Amino acid sequence: MKNRRGHYLSRLNRRLVFLLGLLAFFQLSVFADEHQIKQGNKVIATSQLLSQVSNVHPVVGEQVVLRFELLVNGFFNGGTKFELPSMSTARLSRASSFAINGNKKIAGITYSSQLWEVYLYPEQQGLIELPSIRFDIKFMDNVSHKPKVLSLLSEPKVFFAYIPEDIPKNAPFIVAEQVSIEEQWSEPKQSYQVGDVIERNVTISVVNLPSMNIPRIRVTAPKGVKLIAQEAKLSDSNNRGENIAMVNQTYRYIVNEGGDYALGGETLNWWQPKDGLHRLKFATYSIDVAGAGLFNTWMLVVIALAIVFVALVGLRKQKMFKLPQRVSLSRSLLARDWRGFINLLYQRADSVSAPAQIKPHLTDRQYVTDELVNKQLAISSLFRYCFGGTTSKDDVKASPSNKLSIKRLFRYVVR
């Protein structure tokens, strides 16, 4: 079953190819008949297309002019339409949206003509194949006196683009007959400081090349200077048949550090088809910046902050090893370290009020509150409890009320 289906499909494909071939032959025959008329023993062409190429061996990026001349035995009575093919190896563009109209005499017959120009710009090195371009025309035929609508096909073209050996490898370059550069810098100062801004405006003008085909110069800034490039402004104009393209770009240099700097000084590679390679040099702008750089200032700030951080960490660690007073009092009480316990009690009292207020006998001029007197009496009671000969551990156990009063007294002192 599968073999039979494959056999039928194969026969169908062969017949389809045969029919397409017949159809193509028929169309070509009609196309040939529509372009010429036999008058007696003489064959007169009703329409034809002549093409011309300015250069078949261009440099990559060079403008190649393609001229297509449409001729009809009569006059054009409608708009001509054609579409440019899309190519991966080159870019095509129309020179104008209007044709140049005229007349041309061939073999004693005067034809009306339309001249269309197309620009081709190779984008890579190697072989470039341009397919046929189809022109749809409308005209009134002088022989048959009838309006006609025909399609004219141009011949395919082949080009070979190359990059000259004199051009530095991977360096941008411009291929044109005329190139000029202009630049403007900010007004020079007697002295520059960190934070100053220097503005630079660069304009590149090229003849017979679109602005989008002009490569951007590689602008860099030395260490210590920040570069900010604004978006380039492109413009194209036509002056008496001469196309002029301009690229204008503004750069800003911001000084971040002190020192001597040389700004600008780039090289633009320009390949002139007749004379070869030219290297256009941009001006160099030298400045002397005094003072410490912003980067060094930030480094000093960072170092100072690091020192403060280390000091704070050290102090915190030191405080972590020192126990709080309440914890020290509890540990001394559990260990029956009475001398240390009483010392901590007095330290606690000293931290609450000045020593002169806790010990009013040092001066009669200090005002003593009842709170301070009660603190002193409580500390004395705890001292007698700890060091008095009449109180013992057994007495404390036997008298819960006394133990409770001692706890309250302790909380009152250390709070």
pLDDT per residue as tens digits for the range 11-32 = 544 444 344 343 333 333 333 3
Taking the C-alpha atoms of residue 348 and residue 399, their distance in angstroms, rounded to an integer, is: 28
Q: What is the pLDDT of residue 64?
A: 95
Tens-place pLDDT, residues 368-414: 556 666 666 766 666 666 655 544 444 444 444 444 466 666 666 55
Taking the C-alpha atoms of residue 331 and residue 322, their distance in angstroms, rounded to an integer, is: 13
Q: What is the pLDDT of residue 24?
A: 37
Q: Do residues 71 and 106 touch, judged by C-beta distance below 8 A?
A: yes
- Taking residue 357's Cβ as centre, other Cβ atoms within 10 Å add up to 19
End-to-end Cα, the chain, rounded Å: 104
How does strand 267-272 pair with strand 259-264?
A: unpaired
- Taking residue 245's Cβ as centre, other Cβ atoms within 10 Å add up to 20
Higher pLDDT, 299 or 268: 268
Q: Do residues 161 and 58 touch, judged by C-beta distance below 8 A?
A: yes
Tokens of 413: 């002192």
* pLDDT for 158 beyond 90: yes
Least confident of 17-31, 83-97, 235-249, 305-319: 17-31
Q: What is the pLDDT of residue 145?
A: 84
* Nearest partner of 60 among 219, 352, 309, 271, judged by Cα: 271
Percent of the chain with pLDDT over 70: 67
Q: Do residues 368 and 376 touch, judged by C-beta distance below 8 A?
A: no
Average pLDDT, integer, range 101-127: 91
Angle value at C-alpha 182, between 180 and 184, nearest 5 degrees: 175
Q: What is the pLDDT of residue 152?
A: 92
pTM: 0.59
Average pLDDT, integer, range 276-281: 93
Helices assigned H by DSSP within 200-254: none
47 band by pLDDT with thresholds 50, 70 and 90: confident
6 band by pLDDT with thresholds 50, 70 and 90: very low
